[in-house]
Every structure is written in C-alpha cells, then in structure tokens.
C-alpha cells in the first residue's frame, strides 16, 4: 500500500483526536490521562504558530493512519530553532513503518520551517519508539528517573535529540 504525508487541516480533527485518544488509552507515549474532545484538538491545531506544523499520513484514498506535530520546545527566543515533536499512529497500524515515514516528513518540514534541532521525551519503557528514533539517527541524551506520574506510578523519561543541519 502507498502512503502519503501532508499538512493537517481542520477537517482532519476527528481522526487526529481518535488516534491521540488511543495513545492516551494505551499509556505508552504520553503522560496525559484525560481523553480529548474534537473541540480540544481543534483549539490545539488552530492555536499553533505557523512554523509548528501538524502532518498526517494517509493512504491513496485519504484515510488517516497517524499524525505528527512540531511543538514548542521552550518559549524563550534563544530556543526558537529547537522543536519538540510528537508522533501518534493508529493502534492497528503500529509497527508497519508509518512512524518512519511520518518522522522523515516531519524532519523535512522542520528544516523547511527553519528548525535546526528536534528533541523528544519518550517513556524509557517505550522500546519500539526509541528504536524508531535511533533508526533515524536520534541520540539518547539521558534519562530522567521518576520524571512523570502515570496511574500513580512514577515513570522514567528518556530525552533524545537530532541535529538537522
């Protein structure tokens, strides 16, 4: 099957919301515990800066299977060239290479938008996610021990980065 990436638009919100809520339910990629409404995610999409794009991955019919976003790393202007990012894949499509395609598209978009570095925070236990990032030449910076609380348990968070220059 062929897949395509493109910049997300407001019509994509129902799919982005569904996929994000699967990620929240599965507890492998976010410390968020409350499901989001389409209204929540519409505000999230429309209140982003012009350079912090959201990308979706679709099949040839336009069905959305995942999304990725460039996020603000830090509001201080000295960090304006650094973007945090998120990637979420529809539950039944994980492990099929869509994350690599989305990450490649996200990197190209980040360069086009003037970012020189991407950073992320991943659950230390998320081996599949860390494998994806390492396969795309991200390096582990370190691990915060007991950094975030999820279901009453402290979880370790691994920080990774990649220079785009």
Predicted confidence (pLDDT) per residue in 2-29, tens digit: 999 999 999 999 999 999 999 999 998 8
* pLDDT, tens digit, 9 for 90 and up, residues 101-158: 999 999 999 999 999 999 999 999 999 999 999 999 999 999 999 999 999 999 999 9
On the 0-12 / 13-18 / 19+ scale of CB atoms within 10 A, 51 is middle
* Count of beta carbons in the 10 Å neighbourhood of residue 47: 8
Cβ count near 34 (within 10 Å): 8
The CATH number of 3-116, from 3.90.180.10, 3.40.1010.20, 3.40.50.1820, 3.40.630.30, is 3.40.630.30
The HSE-up count of residue 122 (CA atoms within 13 Å, CB side) is: 24
Q: What is the mean pLDDT of residues 47-68?
A: 97
Q: Are 56 and 86 in contact (CB under 8 A)?
A: no
Q: How far apart, in whole angstroms, are the C-alpha atoms of residue 98 and residue 3? A: 8
Predicted pLDDT of residue 7:
98
CA dist 73 and 64 (Å) reads 26
Do residues 3 and 57 touch, judged by C-beta distance below 8 A? yes
Greatest C-alpha distance within the chain? 44
Instruction: Report d(CA 90, CA 100) in Å as an integer.
Output: 14
Query: What is the reported pTM?
Result: 0.95
Distance, CA of 137 to CA of 80 (rounded, Å):
22
Query: Looking at residue 53, what is its pLDDT?
Result: 98
What CA–CA distance (Å, rounded) separates 70 from 117?
Answer: 11
| Helices (H), ranges, the chain | 13-26, 38-46, 98-112, 127-135
């Amino acid at each position: 099957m062929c897949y395509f990436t493109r910049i997300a638009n407001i019509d994509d919100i129902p799919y982005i919301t569904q996929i994000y809520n699967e990620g929240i339910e599965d507890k492998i990629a976010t410390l968020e515990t409350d499901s989001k409404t389409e209204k929540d995610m519409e505000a999230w999409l429309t209140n982003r800066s012009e350079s912090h794009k959201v990308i979706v991955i679709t099949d040839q019919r336009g069905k959305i299977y995942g999304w990725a976003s460039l996020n603000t790393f830090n509001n201080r202007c000295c960090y304006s060239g650094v973007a945090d990012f998120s990637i979420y894949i529809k539950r039944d499509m994980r492990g099929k290479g869509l994350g690599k395609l989305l990450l490649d598209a996200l990197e190209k978009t980040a360069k086009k938008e003037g970012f020189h570095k991407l950073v992320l925070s991943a659950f230390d236990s998320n081996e599949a996610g860390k494998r994806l990032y390492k396969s795309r030449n991200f390096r582990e910076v370190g691990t915060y021990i007991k950094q975030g609380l999820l279901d009453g348990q402290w979880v370790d968070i691994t920080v990774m980065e990649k220079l785009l220059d």
